[in-house]
Chain A
Amino acid sequence: MLIMVDSKYSNIVLGYNDELIWKHLKHLCLQTVTSEQIEHLHRRFKQLSGDQPTIRKEHFDNIPDLEFNPIRSKIVHAFFDKRNLRQESDGLADEINFEDFLTIMSYFRPIEMNMNEEQLDHFRKEKLKFLFHMYDSDHDGKITLQEYRNVVEELLSGNPHLEKESARSIADGAMMEAASICVGQMEPDQVYEGITFEDFLKMWQGIDIETKMHVRFLNMETIAQCH
């Protein structure tokens, strides 16, 4: 894959009709992304990166609307998270190219009618893993109380009237719920380390994430581009 990157990227710049590119992109499980969507995303990528082949974290500052998003840092972080980029290593990448960008976007593709159970399950797990990585910022495979608190604080950061204490209490309460769902009854001396991915899956069982976690990619020509 690595070998193909550079040549493939230059191919993308030129055009999308190359079979090899399609095969390669499909290998990234991007079956449902059409060519217009890829084109649009590529345009956007170029816009963000200033015509560079890669994007760095600083480039995300150019998106004005993202400034108001309370979990902005986590979103940006998610783009560079190597686990999301399906790379074997850990940690954060410094920069991502278009292929990685598409990889991240593929987590948000909508559900398809003709998916069978196994595909659906895999689909769901992929999305949940993405979410999990967003919560688990220190990459240790567990969402600890501190990380959870961090998340809640960020979420409630837009509200100036709430104090940190409240956020912490809420996080604690939520963690309690998680503990009760995942571990059930706990011994008095037991320590609940953190939410592992399996526990996370359990918690999300009732919620059909595959229908919720998607971004509409439709009618790209008519959608205005925001700068």
Chain B
Amino acid sequence: MPRIEVSHKCCPSLELRCLPLLGIYNLESSLKGFHLYHKLPSVVPESCLLILVGLLLGGIIFGAEEKSPPAMKSDVFFLYLLPPIVLDAGYFMPTRLFFENFGTIILYAVVGTLWNAIGIGVSLFGICQIQVFGLTDITLLQCLLFGSLISAVDPVAVLAVFENIHVNEQLYILVFGESLLNDAVTVVLYNLFKSFCQMRTIETIDVFAGIAKFFVVGIGGVLIGILLGFVAAFTTRFTHKIRVIEPLFVFLYSYLSYITAEMFHLSGIMAITACAMTMNKYVEENVSQKSFTTIKYFMKMLSSVSETLIFIFMGVSTVGKNHEWNWAFVCFTLLFCLIWRALGVFVLTQIINMFRTIPLTFKDQFIIAYGGLRGAICFSLVFLLPAAVFPRKKLFITSVIVVIFFTVFIQGITIRPLVEFLDVKRSNKKQPVVSEEIYNRFFDHMKAGIEDVCGHWGHNFWRDKFIKFDKKYIRRLLIRENQPKSSIVSLYKKLEIKHAIEMAESGMISTVPSLASLTDYRELKVKVKPLSSAEMENMRDILTKNLYQIRQRTLSYNRHSLTADASEKQAKEILIRRRHSLRESIRKSHSLSRERPASANTTRYLSLPKNTKLPERLRIRNKATFRVSDSSDSDTDAATTVLNLKPRPGKKMRDPKQKQRKPQQQFRMEWRNEVDRDCDGKGDHREAANQALTSSWFRQPLLSRPRFGTLSEEDLTKDDGSTRPMPPPRLGRQASEPERHRSKSENQPY
């Protein structure tokens, strides 16, 4: 039977219902304020505070009403609160790491949970037999059922605690993957034992049916998830005319997979996880940038809200008359949970280390065992126990609550100091580097090649095969314009922008002027007409339509860190500023006579021989993919812009106010204004636009720009469209500085 059958408590009157809701909303909003106080979440995980708030609220209601506050109804939890969290987790899961550790995760999830469940159940039964404690009326089956529901590691709690401590990704994925996948086991065991409790006799065939059911539940859930994920991807293939509802499909199909699985008594969590992972792979390519952003933010918002509500409700539900305290049962439950978890992890690790190439160290094992937190799932499951069969239900509720509170509070708070004390390897969130991406790719191919040479079908072989199959069939079917996108290229483009920004920023802010440059600067007296506001509006509009569209890979799985977008936004903003200054300086530069960088002896470019000019690259530019549609004053080909940011020792135009951040480094940048993603067939537009650009250069370089806008198709992935906060005074100031664009100071790319 599904978990969503529940006996509803009779609803209190309207006022009472409003009161907790109001209280909750107020508290929730004020609670998010505590994020502003940075210290607190680092010491105490958010979940603890939320539970405390819930307790407080429950206490208030209880005091006011003398009646138990509305407990969290299990169907609300399972139907509405849990799916968003699992969806968010599954969508942002690092799939590669997940599949590399899949065997380990499955072992922990399945065998570990079974071990825990049976161990706790049997040992509790042993305790119950002792006459002194007054627990003899609890049967073995009840104990087993209790054990099964309390042994499940909870994804919500794990997420809440682990996201702050930043352990290395492998460890995180082990604990978290286990918490997701053990749902199948939990569902099966729970229902199995519950039906056993209600049956008169149990035959061995039933046990075997139970085992078979496990496979059905787990695999069936996953299949439903994958199927619906494919349907979602297929649907989004055709949505380029109606971009606005793309996010809807993502949420719809994932929720559908959850409900469908629950309806068939399969594992809903596994279904939604599989659906999310499938969708992440394919849907991401089909949807527009805006839809993607919407999906990401909305998902995070939903999961954040759900998590808050869950914990608050847990606090609220604790207060009340639902309890029966028995020292022995409660304490031993807690003790056995800890012991069996530790034992289970230890034993299983010994087994799995024989198969792993990188064995898990003792520290890892400790963290895995310690990170096995219980949470809202067992809380809801215990409320679902049929009171008729379980006369001691209140006792169970009490002990579950104690276990949950212990794990969330004590383990949650102490895990951070423990991680530091044990010096567990932390995740090093470095900046993505193109060379690293190249190396990784090189690696993969090399390992696959070596495996081929050895004649060994290893991990990499299967992975390679899957990727080829994927490319050949699945992607063609599911993805609209099947452009194989190299991750190296997309990363590179993203980083190029960052380069540009940083250089632009440093160019605006810092250099050390040499004496020569200072004198040069003073010699030039250029009067510059400041930009009129209309012109700037124009520029702004056109630029917002034509900036880069770089798709962020879904890397993060941390609910609270969406910082990558902030930098992207900032990047674009600075890019715009940069272009403005560029344009200005170009205009001015042609009113002066300038030295062309024909003195190639001052230019160096890495290990190319000294006098190599690189004009041939510029000439090829028209055909090349990597082009800049901005204007430049390159000596050979004006159709393209190569930002030849070469420092010229003699002539450095610097703002004397600027201080140097780093000395210059020659830097050559080309980038392309990626108006649309397709490379083929659109080259003509760009060429034409570029011609227009070159012809009507100086006066109004922007006139040609609109051609980009009109030429591009509807499915242009547009920028967020939010107005950029342009600082006009700053631009004005830049406009008054001559010749800044070329000889800006270049700082390091990183």
For B635, what are the chain A residues with a Cβ–Cβ distance below 8 Å?
Answer: none
- State whether the Cβ of B682 lies closer than 8 Å to any Cβ in chain A: no
Please choose the segment from A3-11, A22-30, A59-67, A118-126 that sits at the chain B interface, where 4 or more of its residues have CB less than 8 A away.
A59-67
For A159, what are the chain B residues with a Cβ–Cβ distance below 8 Å?
Answer: 484, 486
Most chain B CB inside 10 Å of its own CB: which residue of A41, A188, A223: A188
A218 and chain B: residue at smallest CB distance: B355
For A39, what are the chain B residues with a Cβ–Cβ distance below 8 Å?
Answer: none
Known: A162-B486, A165-B626, A226-B452. A173 touches B495 (CB 8 A): yes
Q: Is the CB of A179 within 8 A of B606?
A: yes
Closest Cβ of chain B to A184, distance in Å, is: 8
Q: Is the CB of A151 within 8 A of B748?
A: no
Q: Which of A41, A176, A184 contacts B454 (CB 8 A)?
A: A41
- State whether the Cβ of B608 lies closer than 8 Å to any Cβ in chain A: yes
A161 to B439, CA, bound (A): 21
Most chain A CB inside 10 Å of its own CB: which residue of B436, B438, B443, B646: B438
A214 to B434, CA, bound (A): 23
Q: Is the CB of B452 within 8 A of A215?
A: no
Most chain A CB inside 10 Å of its own CB: which residue of B606, B664, B679: B606
Most chain B CB inside 10 Å of its own CB: which residue of A47, A108, A193: A108
Q: Is the CB of B456 within 8 A of A223?
A: yes
Known: A191-B607, A216-B459. A63 touches B489 (CB 8 A): no
- State whether the Cβ of A72 lies closer than 8 Å to any Cβ in chain B: yes
- State whether the Cβ of B390 lies closer than 8 Å to any Cβ in chain A: no
B441 and chain A: residue at smallest CB distance: A155
The number of chain B residues with a CB under 8 A from chain A is: 69
Kindly supply a per-residue 1/0 record for chain A positions 60-102, scoring 1 wherever the CB is within 8 Å of any chain B CB and 0 otherwise: 1001011011111011000100000000000000000000000
- State whether the Cβ of B658 lies closer than 8 Å to any Cβ in chain A: no
Q: Is the CB of B468 within 8 A of A68?
A: yes
Contacting B at CB under 8 A, from A132-183, are: 134, 144-146, 151-152, 155-156, 159, 161-163, 165-166, 169-170, 172-181
Q: Is the CB of B607 within 8 A of A206?
A: no
Known: A47-B455, A69-B452. A213 touches B434 (CB 8 A): no
- State whether the Cβ of B670 lies closer than 8 Å to any Cβ in chain A: yes
Known: A71-B442, A113-B359. A215 touches B663 (CB 8 A): no
A60 to B626, CA, bound (A): 36
For A193, what are the chain B residues with a Cβ–Cβ distance below 8 Å?
Answer: 607
- State whether the Cβ of A187 lies closer than 8 Å to any Cβ in chain B: yes
- State whether the Cβ of A197 lies closer than 8 Å to any Cβ in chain B: no
For B590, what are the chain A residues with a Cβ–Cβ distance below 8 Å?
Answer: none
Q: Is the CB of B436 within 8 A of A207?
A: yes
Q: Is the CB of A169 within 8 A of B484?
A: no
- State whether the Cβ of A1 lies closer than 8 Å to any Cβ in chain B: no
Q: Which of B453, B607, B646, B750 contacts A66 (CB 8 A)?
A: B453
Q: Which of B453, B484, B646, B749 contacts A176 (CB 8 A)?
A: B749
6 contacting pairs across A/B (C-beta < 8 A): A63-B452, A108-B447, A108-B450, A152-B488, A161-B680, A162-B489
Sorted nearest first, the 3 A-B pairs with minimum C-beta distance are: A174-B435, A180-B748, A75-B449
